[in-house]
Structure 1
């Protein structure tokens, strides 16, 4: 009899505990939804992910305009870098952005315009704009990058925004029968024949904004870290090797 009583007491405790945990989880989910909605309505930013941050009391918010942190009630919004002093000043924000970049370039690997090295050792993803002078300089040295074993995958980042002629021209390039040839010509200053099709130019641009891209060229290295601006072939190779 006493064992039956003990069993019933344990079962009751587990049931109450499970109910409390479920209630806490529901409350937490409702709070996240509330904060997400507040950010989207108040700031016009689209929130793709929200959850715990490395700092207790703060939430980490991934948006189409970058990575932010908020107080748990959504009252305060922070744009900051979080460093972990106990782990040798590890940049927790950069770690989060690195994973976001790697996930993004994997998503767009089939819609990037690729210049593949014959003896590929490394793959870099480069946000580019056809009107950007340094983007053209980098492109003119494509054979040198490829000779070093570096495959280049271009992602579109029309700096003037999605309601601009460069954006329309980049859509035309991505929609061409031979996107490589069309991109070569566009970066060479030739007129771009107007074309349209189902494409991911806008999505690539929005992805760039979400991981902090604000200029071109912007180079994502194989490990997800970033090198902003033009890099000569040997200098880029060294950056890749240093980051490996």
Structure 2
């Protein structure tokens, strides 16, 4: 679901009161379902990470930027105060630069006299270069995830792996777990990501602090069995920050071992295909 305001509209009105939330690419041909916070804002329990901290920025893996790219970034930020440019790259189109703002892409000339938002298409090769770039930006090295902050469930050999950001009150997350009942030889890492209601935070805490978090999580997600009230230190706030850093906008958000992601609950066959493709 796209945010009702485009980044281009925000640039025109000069307002940053609502940060654009980009639509994330989904695999074609399969229906994926996710639940999003009604406000689409950061949960009240934790403030958003500072955008000026290098460790909190979503950065490209591209080589160091050229002098011309750095100049474009500098002029862009001068023309649009409050907008922080994460990266600038040259494009195949002569004189046009790609500007990355968070997880959004814009295009501009060297003088930043004109700014475009939309897809850049390679007409000869019939390739959507913008979609390819966005897909690359969304990839996450699986080994970089702090898996000790997730609830671990192992089925069969556990050879295949998937990490999922989930809210305990997310209906599509529950649907995903019903689907997983028919999937074998998989390890599921659940990052508790309560964004839907205050009750989500309380229930996440009780599940994490249970004597057997995996058992408590499964009992709730599959059978609606409330966890007993419990108190302990949790990684929930850390998970919220991590989710925002990874641009998780709704639940469930699935991260696979090959670095790809899917935003939403996949049907059984599509999920099996994704796991089988992990090698």
Gaps of 5+ in 2: 1-64
Partner of 1:13: none
Q: Distance in 2 between matches of 1:156 and 1:82?
A: 36
- Contact 1:127–1:208 (CA<8 Å) still a contact in 2? no
Secondary structure of the equivalent of 2:173?
A: helix
Closer, same or farther: CA 62–184 of 1 in aligned 2, 3 Å:
farther
Q: Relative to total residues, which structure has the larger helix share, 1 or 2? A: 1
Superposed displacement of residue 131, structure 1: 0.6
1:99 equivalent in alignment to 2:136: yes
Partner of 2:100: 61
Partner of 1:84: 122
Number of residues paired by the alignment? 207
TM-score by length of 1: 0.62
Partner of 1:3: none
Closer, same or farther: CA 86–240 of 1 in aligned 2, 3 Å:
farther
Larger Rg: 1
Bigger CA drift: 74-83 or 133-142? 74-83
Q: Distance in 2 between matches of 1:243 and 1:84?
A: 29
What aligned pairs does 1:1-244 form with structure 2 within 5 A after superposition?
A: 25-26=66-67, 28-36=69-77, 41-42=82-83, 49-56=86-93, 57-63=96-102, 66-71=103-108, 72-73=110-111, 78-87=116-125, 89-103=126-140, 105-110=142-147, 111-145=149-183, 147=184, 149-160=185-196, 164-167=198-201, 169-170=203-204, 173=207, 178-187=212-221, 188-191=224-227, 193-197=230-234, 199-209=237-247, 213-241=248-276
Gaps of 5+ in 1: 1-23
Superposed displacement of residue 135, structure 1: 0.9
- The answer to which structure, 1 or 2, has the higher relative contact order (CA under 8 A, 6+ apart) is 2
For the aligned residues, what is the CA RMSD?
Answer: 3.9
- Contact 1:158–1:205 (CA<8 Å) still a contact in 2? no
Superposed displacement of residue 150, structure 1: 3.0
TM-score by length of 2: 0.56
